[in-house]
Structure 1
Amino acid sequence: MVDMLDRGIGQLSRIPPLPPFTTPEEVVADALPLLDAPSRITVTDAAERALRVPVAGKWSAYDRSVTPYTIEPQDISQSRRFKGVVFVGPSQSGKSQMLLSVSAHAITCAPGPVQLIHMTKTDADAWVEEKLDPAISNSPLLQERLGKAREDSTFSRKRFKGMRLGIGYPVANQLSSRSQRMVLLTDYDHMPQRLGPKDAPEASPWGMALQRIRTFLSRGCVFAESTPAFPVDEDKARDANPLEPHLMPATTGGIVNLYNEGTRARWFWECLDCAEYFEPTYERLSYNRDLDPGEAGDQAHMVCPHCGSVIHHRQKAEMNRRAGQRHGGWLHESREVDEATGKRRLVRIDDPAIRNTPFASYALNGAAATFASWSALVERYETARRKMEEDGDDLDFAGVHYTEIGVPYRRGGDEDDDALTLEDLRRNPLRISKGLAPAWARFVTVMVDVQGNRFEVMVMAWGAEGERVAIDRFAIHQPPDDAPRAKGDDGKYRAVDPGRYAEDAAVIAELADRVYPVEGAEWGLKPLAVVIDFNGPAGWSDNAEKFWRKQARAGRGGRFYLSIGRGGFNQRDRVWHEAPERASGGGKGRGIKLLNMAVDRLKDSVTAALGRTDTPINAQHVPAWMETEHLAEHLAEKRGAKGWELKKGLIRNEGLDHSVQALALAEHLGLNRVNWEVPPEWCVAGLHNPNAVQLARPNQAEGASEPLEQARPRQINFLRRR
């Protein structure tokens, strides 16, 4: 009994001390500020009074002169006239800082529930930890108002005196059944554009956010900011009204369409020489496009469209500050039409003639963004443009438009004036016999497209710098002699059935051993590798795996690849070789590696290569022997906003698929990494190439089956490219 009492006394001695006594007067004094009427100051004034921001490694008071173009949009969030504010702009331009400024105003001046919606839960948590929490702890006025209880400061909620700041992510339950005075949407274009069940989506994040502020009447506001991330919708863009000077091309979704519904403001500078207004855009940067990207960027400068006056990058900060003082600034579209220009007149936000809409919308061009230098902007633009012109892949070029310039990207479509036609492809054919590789050939690849009753095969010869041409095209209809017979038939004339009979794939194995003579040489080339479509009729995937494993056991696994297409322009890479994580039925993934192809991006490159006539680099020549029906297969698809798709009424596209397989295989094997001054053995010209075979009858396709076994010469004889 004594032991129990002693143990209890010891435990009591470890109880932490009670908090100091608080008098009723102190409680009332702490709560009295909550009874104050909202402070009638702007968001920018409140930010300068209460907010600290990181500058050059230290925390300093918010300075409106750093990003003057954010003053009006963040201040207008408190307007009783507009229900929403939309801001479109490039990355690193101060867009997200506006949301902190609006939040600081709500905390210190106009208490009320505010909700911030980030792209995902992970991004929301990271934003709280890396941006919000440090800003609060380094801003004394914000820290003073933060609740002291443990649950007052979490990743999903911050409770301040008189207000609650919620942090969420775009799912339906985060934007349902709650009343908010302010809803802040950050990186809007990277959110799901439809929330709710897939079979019955409720609305967009913007639409659901507008419902949350209804109970606050004119005091409620939704603020959305983002870089654009959706391409131009060509069908809707054609209907744009040319009389509306600030209308952006309609996109397939996202914030640009919200901007078009608003007042459509653009940021203007006043020329220091002629005092005329103009919008500083990337198109008005002047530089020599023939220079290297870095050198072109160093000489970039802005030119006034009215008088031709030159504005250097060092003057950009001054031009922005002057615009913030109404020597330029934000100009919105009005309802009135200027008789002189035939376009809508441009007015300021307080003009009664401003466009009649409940949303104030703003679009900032990357050329005016504070934290973007013109030299870096031009360098990235030119690098991406030249890469697109070289290989036809415009993913990086589109990214520069979205994140660096802050405008939607308009991709070339099949209906463009410069779209390829059969006449274009036939105009400059490469005159070479079928089955014969050109003199500049360095290696050969074989591509197999699997159909229900045949194997469609194309052979491609490759030269230096990605130059290539098809040298053979045929279909395999007959199964091997030892394949199983069909029921009720002697099997002699049974067609290939890849999905049903695994044995039929044996006819593909011999493709790796064929030899293709090189024009003007006494040697030919065996294929470097064979790539086979992993998709096909039902049952083929399993049979394809059996075929590859059989070749691997024979030591030929490195000569054969199984390819699978991945649609969409935003794949992680153009080509990657790895085993699938999951099987098609959701079970354990296959134990073989597949050559994954970003087919839509690769089709861009193939189309560009077919149309390249001014240089052999990355050009895909059209052979004179190719039949029209096979040539037309390269033009069977059209490019849409989400990817390439068959044109109406067409079903044969094997030629395009073959070309995509060929490019994917060549890139995987290292085509883009080759130093053509000192190439590896597999792409040299001559018998030193491990795939080269000396022939009995050179320059004759039928002589390819009669190689002569001779010693290879010691010297590597490089063939001069055409």
Structure 2
Amino acid sequence: MAIGPLEPLVAARYARYEPPPRLCVSDWLDTHRILPRGYPSPAQGPWRTSRTPYLREPFEATADPGVETVVLLFSSQIGKSEMLLGSLLYACGVDPGPAMIVLPTLELAAAMSTDRLAPALRSCDALAGKLGSPRSRSTDDAIHRKRVGDATITISGASSPASLAARPVRWLCCDEIDLWPAGTNEGDPLAQAIQRTAAFRRRKIIMASTPTIKGASRIEDWYEQSDKRKLWAPCPRCGERFVVEWHHVRWESGRPETAHIECPSCKGSIEDSERAAMFAAAEWKASEPEVKKIRGYRAWAVVSPWRRLPEIVEAFLEAKKQPHTLKEWINLTRGESWEEPGEKVETNTLLARAEPGDWLAALPARVRVLTCGVDTQDDRLEVLVVGWGMGEESWLVSRELFPGDPANPHVWKELDETLERKWPHEDGGALSIVCTLVDAAGHKTDGVYQAVRARHHRRVFASFGRSGGEKGMLVSPPKQLKTSFGPVIRYILDVDALKALIHGRLRIPARQGSGTIHIPTLGAESLVNELTAEVLRTERNKYGVPSKKWIPIRDRNETLDCLGMALGALRVMAPTPGGFARLAEMAAAKEGAEPKPSERRVKRWSPPQ
């Protein structure tokens, strides 16, 4: 039969609509993917899925036509970002279509694009010749948009609604969704991103994140909607399969180098050197097999070939010393959400721990550094001077109030008496306040800027509290603002994280040691009431997204705010433990101790009536 002149054209046209070939994703990556020199990975060279065998099945799920959404509830640094990138490479090479990868912020998206995505695309031989030149001005290889043959990849930030809007996509990769904002002016960014895939019947949605807070974890919510798969590994001794959890890790007291896994069936000891072979033979099993379209995977650091059990145990022993470091370890290493120990700190417990002594007359022996936090109100300055020891052990040394309008220079001159004072030390000599942060939010911002600008030489700086801080940092780097009074140095504080850190330390039962907060008996009731004036509760916003929020239960919370700023001031001067030791040496005053003044032009703080 003769072939008409139009048949090849028609065949070529309809070939575009044929389904993609059924290929094994991990085999395709093993064949075509290269990790170039300098790539942020423990290994360079040809990609080998056999290094991380637990990623093999999640990779295949992204090519399974019966699976629409893949959820990765993974701890940190075990391959979730490489899973997203590998899926994008496969999509561009085998099943091209519009794709989008979304990170918490545009800054993180740009870093991902530059450090990971661009090198991964350039080094993949199956995509050779399909990329724009990185040296050209073409938009085909821009930071936030890349064209790969017939596919386009948009790199977006969840905090930027504009970067998510009006972009229909078939492949959607969402990274670290627990760090995404709960809502923007356009709504829930995750719902907005998923809506971009609505027009495609063969859409693929991949979500990956390390969990954060119990009850406010997006990735945990999605995992609960999935078929909930866990990794079942065989015991090298008896052959029985089990899910390796933290409670299966054992070690001799004080000897983390003896860490091993104990089989729950035969009680046999599985050495660290046997882990790789054990997890190479592991299988993913679903606890909710009736769920078909959402495939969920949960794994933690024990599966990683890059982590040793003794290192994991050593990190745990160090982290458990303080609640905030334990929280980070549970999130990042165990891949579990942190459950707050209670809605609020019991005031009676704190009052029972209040300590006698006149810390104004002589600072306790373990105090090495003094900082100050100043909360500004319309008619007064609320002040807290805090002493710090090793491990951020703290003493609430002096709580003061200065009546007056913060726009009036007179009230700041009275504050100077506190900031310039030499505080006598129990061991002799005296300490000075090394840094002060002043709240610049509210109605008196200009007055604060003018006041702190004149006191920069004494390390008195402006600060703003913000939920989530700046890029997730507890204390931001300094920023120099241009004001009508001249340049002003300002810091951004993550107020939610500071309050959580303080409340965690208030729960420390020990009477001394790292993180302990010492409260004086003088004015203890009011101090405690203000420290516990807010509680952390889970609330759903108008988009239905759960998040943790600090809710006031009392009118006065100035001591809590001031302590947060004093801690921020310490982190400004000493962001690391080594930095604290050097700061303590610098702060040790060589002058003789000053006698306590009998008369001061300061109204000493007293409990509100």
Q: How does 1:59-138 map to 2 (within 5 A)?
A: 59-60=45-46, 63-98=48-83, 102=87, 111=95, 113=97, 115-119=99-103, 120=106, 122=110, 123-124=112-113, 126-136=115-125
How many Å separate the matches in 2 of 1:443 and 1:45?
55
Match of 1:455 in 2: 381
Distance apart, 1:399 and its partner CA: 4.6
Tell me: higher relative CO, structure 1 or 2? Use CA pairs within 8 A at least 6 residues apart.
2
Greater per-residue strand proportion? 2
How many Å separate the matches in 1 of 2:355 and 2:315?
36
Amino acid at match of 1:286: R
How many Å separate the matches in 2 of 1:316 and 1:288?
19
The answer on 1:497 being equivalent to 2:405 is yes
Q: How does 1:202-217 map to 2 (within 5 A)?
A: 204=191, 207-214=194-201
User: CA 1:113–1:232 in structure 2 vs 1: closer, same or farther (change >3 Å)?
Assistant: same
Match of 1:718 in 2: none
The answer on 1:565 being equivalent to 2:465 is yes
Residue of structure 2 aligned with 1:360, choices 279, 295, 312: 295
User: CA 1:517–1:126 in structure 2 vs 1: closer, same or farther (change >3 Å)?
Assistant: closer
Q: How does 1:208-357 map to 2 (within 5 A)?
A: 208-214=195-201, 220-233=202-215, 251-253=216-218, 255-288=219-252, 290-291=254-255, 296=256, 298-323=257-282, 329-334=283-288, 354-357=289-292
Match of 2:593 in 1: 693
Match of 2:24 in 1: 43
User: CA 1:421–1:48 in structure 2 vs 1: closer, same or farther (change >3 Å)?
Assistant: closer
How many Å separate the matches in 1 of 2:556 and 2:391?
30
Match of 2:542 in 1: none
User: CA 1:105–1:46 in structure 2 vs 1: closer, same or farther (change >3 Å)?
Assistant: farther
Match of 1:631 in 2: 528
TM-score, normalised relative to structure 2:
0.76
- Aligned CA RMSD, in angstroms, stands at 4.5
Distance apart, 1:172 and its partner CA: 6.5
Distance apart, 1:118 and its partner CA: 4.6
8 Å contact from structure 2 (residues 98, 168) kept in 1: no
Match of 1:166 in 2: 152
Match of 1:189 in 2: 177
User: CA 1:403–1:629 in structure 2 vs 1: closer, same or farther (change >3 Å)?
Assistant: closer
Distance apart, 1:190 and its partner CA: 7.2
* Secondary structure of the corresponding residue to residue 231 of structure 1: coil
Residue of structure 2 aligned with 1:473, choices 396, 399, 403: 399
Distance apart, 1:34 and its partner CA: 5.0
How many Å separate the matches in 2 of 1:657 and 1:385?
26
How many Å separate the matches in 1 of 2:88 and 2:486?
50
Structure number with larger C-alpha Rg: 1
Q: How does 1:376-391 map to 2 (within 5 A)?
A: 376-386=311-321, 389=322
8 Å contact from structure 1 (residues 186, 226) kept in 2: yes
Q: How does 1:373-452 map to 2 (within 5 A)?
A: 373-386=308-321, 389=322, 393-394=324-325, 397-405=326-334, 407-412=335-340, 414-415=342-343, 420-433=345-358, 435-438=360-363, 440=365, 445=371, 447-452=373-378
Amino acid at match of 1:113: G
Q: How does 1:635-674 map to 2 (within 5 A)?
A: 635-640=532-537, 645-648=550-553, 650-670=554-574, 672-673=577-578
How many Å separate the matches in 1 of 2:23 and 2:525?
69
In structure 1, the gaps of 5 or more residues are 1-23, 215-219, 234-250, 324-328, 335-353, 478-495, 684-688, 706-722
Amino acid at match of 2:213: P
Aligned residues: 566
User: CA 1:644–1:570 in structure 2 vs 1: closer, same or farther (change >3 Å)?
Assistant: farther
* Secondary structure of the corresponding residue to residue 638 of structure 1: strand
- Percent identity, please: 17
Amino acid at match of 2:258: Q
Distance apart, 1:651 and its partner CA: 1.5
How many Å separate the matches in 1 of 2:402 and 2:17?
85
Match of 1:508 in 2: 415
TM-score, normalised relative to structure 1:
0.66
Match of 2:606 in 1: none
